[in-house]
Amino acid sequence: MGDFWVFGYGSLLWRPGFAHVETKRARLHGYRRALCVYSFVHRGTRERPGLVLGLDRGGSCVGLAFRVPGELRDEVIAYLRERELVTSVYLERTLKVRLDGGGTVDAVAYIVDRDHEQYAGAIDAAHAAAVVRGAVGRSGNNEDYVFSTLEHLEALGIRDHWLEEVARGIAPL
């Protein structure tokens, strides 16, 4: 089986955690990056949820596409499922992404399940900042997650104005 692609838009940007042979900036149409998932494990708890990113319907999202050797498919998919599907709030899909420089590839991506109890829906930046502030899960504190995402987006030349507004609400400049 041939190589395949994985689309990253959040923590996969800075910590993919799997072997890959190429990384390209890419755009996914039809979904946007949003802090729309209440985190009960990685960045919060059931008693004190945090918020993590999901791909929610509408707009588009610029992220990274990782090309993975075909012989690693089973290993990488198992890793991603363990990481992303811990509470089944995401749905695994293969979606078309447009690579910078041209070309379209099919990429594995994890979109939010809007029917899941952890789906936060569309919330404003002030409310998101209040949820994020002080939340901690097994992968660390929620503020670090938001700031790290923004740092990596900035390094890639990607602006996310709404996420920047959330960050200002967490730690006003």
Q: Which of 22, 82, 84, 117 is catalytic?
A: 84
Specify whether 82 is catalytic: no
DSSP letter (8 states) at residue 12? G
CA distances (Å), origin 127, targets 50, 57, 73, 131: 11, 20, 39, 6
What b-and-e string marks burial along 20-34, b requiring 16 or more CB atoms within 10 Å of the CB?
A: beeebbbbbeebbbb
Q: What is the pLDDT of residue 172?
A: 61
Q: pLDDT tens-digit profile of 93-148?
A: 999 999 999 999 999 999 999 999 999 998 999 999 999 999 999 999 999 999 99
pLDDT at 171: 80
What angle do helix axes 142-155 and 161-170 make, rounded to 10 degrees? Answer: 140
pTM higher than the cut 0.75 = yes
**pLDDT tens readout for residues 48-105:** 999 999 999 999 999 999 999 999 999 999 999 999 888 899 999 999 999 999 999 9
User: In the chain, what are the domains?
Assistant: 4-170 (3.10.490.10)
Q: Provide the pLDDT for residue 14.
A: 85
